[in-house]
Amino acid sequence: MFKILDRYIIKTFFGPFLFIFSVLFFIFIVNIIWIQLGQFMGKGLTTLQIMKLLFYLGVSVVSMVLPLTILLASIMSFGELGERYELAAMKAAGISLTRVMMPLLGVTTVLAILLYFFSNNIIPDFQRKAKNMLFNIAQTKPALNFTPGQFIDQIPGFMVKFDKIKGEEGRDLEGIFIHKKASNFENQQTIVAEKGKFANAKNPKFMQLILYNGYVIEDSHAGKSDLVRAKQPDQTTKFDTLITHFDISELIDKAIEKEQITDDYRFETFTQLFKTIDKAKKDNTKTVDNISNDLISQTNAVVTYMDKNKTKAPVKSQYKLDSIKGDKKLQILSNAYSRLDNLKANLDSKNKELDPSIKYFSKVVIYQQRILTYSFTCIIFFMIGASLGSIIRKGGMGVPVIIAIVIFIVFYVINVGFENVAWSGKMSPYLAAWLPNIILFPFGVWMTYKALTDSQLFDSEKYKAFFKPITRVFVKQKEHKRYQ
């Protein structure tokens, strides 16, 4: 059973929590829209499709938004309690700060556990949907994937062939043949033109094609028997310019929803990633062995110790370089240098072959570990935020927000920095994933200790008194006017 005090503290926390989460979620979504905006434009997307895509993308940012929200909300809630002297009243009533922090620590722990299950079970599924949708949007229009000289039925209801496709974005066409796939109850139609080009239609659901110098061959025998069709001639119309529109809305809708990308480590759960990590480790080991064997064979080709009969024959006496004539000596040195230089260049190229494999392995490991680490980050951020709020005793959106943003920036820089080091193969990816938490956890413990001991950590007068002996040396004391 929650006591009245516990309910009040939780209520104080969840007010700013819900507000901050909504604001941060909106900011991260706007950032994603800004990055991906070019893929949305001119693709004939409906409002529902755009909202669906934003929802898919938004789900993936929850793992980053939630820790920052807990940090901000804890600073603001404890800052408000301190600013209204409620913390002082609780301490005067014999309630310690530890007792005040316990209900919110329990709430944060529950949120951290929920974040783990959310990151493990829900985010991978939405990552797959979002990536496939973005890929399909990028592939849809303006010019469909036509192949010159081949009949293609990509446009619904039509069979088309273009002899040549050229110009910017493949918009200029030559040798155009378009045949409408009509039933017995529709008029047959065939269009032949010398040249044409794709144009931007006003309605993005349609593809506009401007044709030049051609013929429209059409019959008007819809619903009539094949015998009647065979007896009556077709109608042919010559044109200089003809503008046609093709409805490709069905093609766009199907293409956007189609899942073409299925093999990605970000689509897997925590346990499924173990198989991917093991496979990547085996592939890297195999690659390293192949490169090592190749380099050893090349080195043995440069320096050979075995004779043709493969017997342990006595090694011939080595020539002294000083006893060889000048031209011969220069030739020997040049050959040795060129062989060593070739071996070094080959070694560098083989080393570059390993970089993508090492980077991929590090990415998979870090992604898997962050499913866990971000949950622990929530608890660490609560320790820091609650302690700072109780020390600062300032609520609202001023000082607490600035301090929280600075802490989050430090965390983000550490996170990205160690991630890049791990990608280069200079650090274990497991250590790189956990180091930000390892670094911040002692700071969180120290801040909690300072808060429990009523430390005057942000008291400006305390720091002025500490640096006063130093400032006296540089600041000249003025005499009072009365004694001048």
**pTM flag (> 0.85):** no
User: What is the residue-wise DSSP string for 122-141?
Assistant: IHHHHHHHHHHHHHHHHHSS
Of 340 and 67, the one with more pLDDT? 67
Q: For residue range 193-241, what is the model confidence (pLDDT) as tens digits? A: 988 888 776 776 677 888 899 988 887 666 566 666 666 666 788 888 8
Nearest C-alpha neighbor of 180 from the set 171, 189, 172: 189
What residue segments make up the domains of the chain, in order of their start? 4-139+370-468, 158-247, 268-303+321-366
pLDDT, mean of residues 14-31: 86
Residue 107, φ and ψ in degrees, nearest 5: -65, -45
Q: Which tokens go with 452? A: 């429990």
Nearest C-alpha neighbor of 173 from the set 204, 191, 195: 195
The pLDDT mean for the chain works out to 76
Whether 246 shows a pLDDT value over 90: the answer reads no
Q: For residue range 293-306, what is the model confidence (pLDDT) as tens digits? A: 776 776 666 555 33
Report in angstroms the alpha-carbon separations of 115 from 22, 118, 236, 449: 16, 5, 67, 27
Residue with tokens 């931007």: 200
Please state, as a whole number, how many other Cβ atoms lie within 10 Å of the Cβ of residue 361: 21
